[in-house]
Structure 1
């Protein structure tokens, strides 16, 4: 049985063309990407050991091996971070993610006061499961009519994968779906992530499970929304980690003047001191 660590290494190996690393092309082969022997050679480990890692038969690689594999795969900083995280949970060392307790849904008064001070800015408090725990009135205006906030306990991940309106609201639905699936690996606990995964997998199907298991680290560029009343909006996201709460405060900023003007036309958006596009 494989492990998330092995799945990630294999997926990255399959995505690399040998020529991009200055390696010779060995010609047509059954599997795409880099050969195990090429990756093992670059990392300074044996092919047999790499095979054990990928197949989940070795669950406790040393820090040196993890770093060597990251170097050999030419991983980006965010991909390296994910590789280190997967090595910890695969080896059972990440006790904070092993707790079965449900994630904290309450938002501290200080954080709620920060949201109030951000009005009329577009902001929300969420967690890696996608729960929308608190939001400004401007966030409600931007998402109004899309169905995202229709439930008593709105969840962005569930909305993206189960509500057909999400594919219209998010102009780059595939990119947003990649982000939401990836973030489940960083959920407050393995138990909470598994509960949501078990709920979504039967109804969301391959669109969800393929993304969850690909370990594709998202780029998180500008968020493009197709608002029912305001046309297309391009928003930049600034995220503040509330580590002690396992929550995030996300502020959305207009990426261009066209978005600023489109926001001004939204009927329910507060107007005093409106945030402008940043250059």
Structure 2
């Protein structure tokens, strides 16, 4: 790192330190402070560094902090993902890709799900695990809260669940396209996370348990978008035809799927009924 880069790094660390109050990190405020935010020794304590070394970083006197040090600083200073990446670039050590797909859903997305009362919406991870949903999605598809985490994976449900023996997952009209597309997306995810044990384990489980999945996997195809329109054969209210809009959550490698029925159609009425009935499926199998 040259002198200018070290100075930029020091200025960034100081600016992040000064925006955090002791209360933010569970420290007592103590006597009157001369500067806003945390003291250098407090950041050093939170990052498991010596005060002398952290001071050298802020004063542009330290060279090439390690990845471990940068990780500890990002955690201590409560950096956002973009700020963490910026810290790494300033230090001349571009961040490593995450080891596995993120399952953490931003609170703003969760709030959005619940502000869509007329739409069924879910968030899926890069491996097709349903990691967030609203009440209408649970009524339309199944009550995901009643399932253990492993059974919330749509790939596992489609290829290894009870739906595989002549039954379509949620009665989807495009079940064949869904299974093919989801398997192809998993291939792309496996390339992005080659060392993640959950990803590799899911692939091996599907290869061992589903000849259909193994056939799709062997083709090495990479899929595009899912079908924009589909029909759910709901066991309580009958067929529901919906539009499917997919929004990429690029920074988390997730997707938000929103199912809406055209206004004035029987499907819209069916969704409205489901919003009232909820997940009271009266023993209907998932």
Say if 2:118 and 2:260, in contact at 8 Å, map to a contact too.
Answer: no
CA distance in structure 2 between the partners assigned to 1:181 and 1:191 by the alignment? 18
Q: Kindly tell me: are residues 140 and 112 of structure 1, through their superposed partners in 2, closer, same or farther at Cα, counting changes over 3 Å?
A: same
**Alignment match of 1:254 (pick from 236, 258, 261):** 261
What are the residue-to-residue correspondences of 1:173-184 with 2, within 5 Å?
A: 173-184=175-186
CA distance in structure 2 between the partners assigned to 1:213 and 1:252 by the alignment? 31
Residue 140 (structure 1) shift: 0.4
Query: What's the secondary structure of 1:261's corresponding residue?
Result: helix
List gaps (5 residues or longer) in structure 1: 1-94, 271-279
Tell me what 1:210 maps to. 215
Alignment RMSD: 2.9
Query: What's the secondary structure of 1:249's corresponding residue?
Result: strand
CA distance in structure 1 between the partners assigned to 2:133 and 2:147 by the alignment? 14
Tell me what 1:125 maps to. 123
Tell me what 1:73 maps to. none
1:140-191 CA deviation, whole Å, 9 max, x = no partner? 010137x896333411111111112363322332111011101113325233
1:268 equivalenced with 2:272 (yes/no): no
Tell me what 2:139 maps to. 141
1:196 equivalenced with 2:202 (yes/no): yes
1:220 equivalenced with 2:226 (yes/no): yes
> Normalising by the residue count of structure 2, what TM-score does the alignment of the two structures yield?
0.53
Query: What's the secondary structure of 1:160's corresponding residue?
Result: helix
Tell me what 1:70 maps to. none
1:94-122 CA deviation, whole Å, 9 max, x = no partner? x99x9572221111112212222223421
1:8-64 CA deviation, whole Å, 9 max, x = no partner? xxxxxxxxxxxxxxxxxxxxxxxxxxxxxxxxxxxxxxxxxxxxxxxxxxxxxxxxx
CA distance in structure 1 between the partners assigned to 2:112 and 2:202 by the alignment? 29
CA distance in structure 2 between the partners assigned to 1:176 and 1:255 by the alignment? 21
CA distance in structure 2 between the partners assigned to 1:217 and 1:239 by the alignment? 14
Q: Kindly tell me: are residues 210 and 99 of structure 1, through their superposed partners in 2, closer, same or farther at Cα, counting changes over 3 Å?
A: farther
CA distance in structure 2 between the partners assigned to 1:125 and 1:150 by the alignment? 16
> Normalising by the residue count of structure 1, what TM-score does the alignment of the two structures yield?
0.55
Tell me what 1:232 maps to. 239
Tell me what 2:84 maps to. none
Query: What's the secondary structure of 1:200's corresponding residue?
Result: helix
Range 223-232 or range 162-171, more displaced: 162-171
Structure ID, larger Rg:
2
Q: Kindly tell me: are residues 128 and 143 of structure 1, through their superposed partners in 2, closer, same or farther at Cα, counting changes over 3 Å?
A: same
1:241 equivalenced with 2:248 (yes/no): yes
List gaps (5 residues or longer) in structure 2: 1-93, 280-286
Tell me what 1:28 maps to. none
Range 135-144 or range 179-188, more displaced: 179-188
CA distance in structure 1 between the partners assigned to 2:246 and 2:100 by the alignment? 23
Say if 2:118 and 2:271, in contact at 8 Å, map to a contact too.
Answer: no
**Alignment match of 1:152 (pick from 149, 154, 161):** 149
How many aligned positions are there?
173
CA distance in structure 1 between the partners assigned to 2:225 and 2:124 by the alignment? 19
Query: What's the secondary structure of 1:190's corresponding residue?
Result: coil
CA distance in structure 2 between the partners assigned to 1:254 and 1:178 by the alignment? 24
CA distance in structure 1 between the partners assigned to 2:207 and 2:256 by the alignment? 27
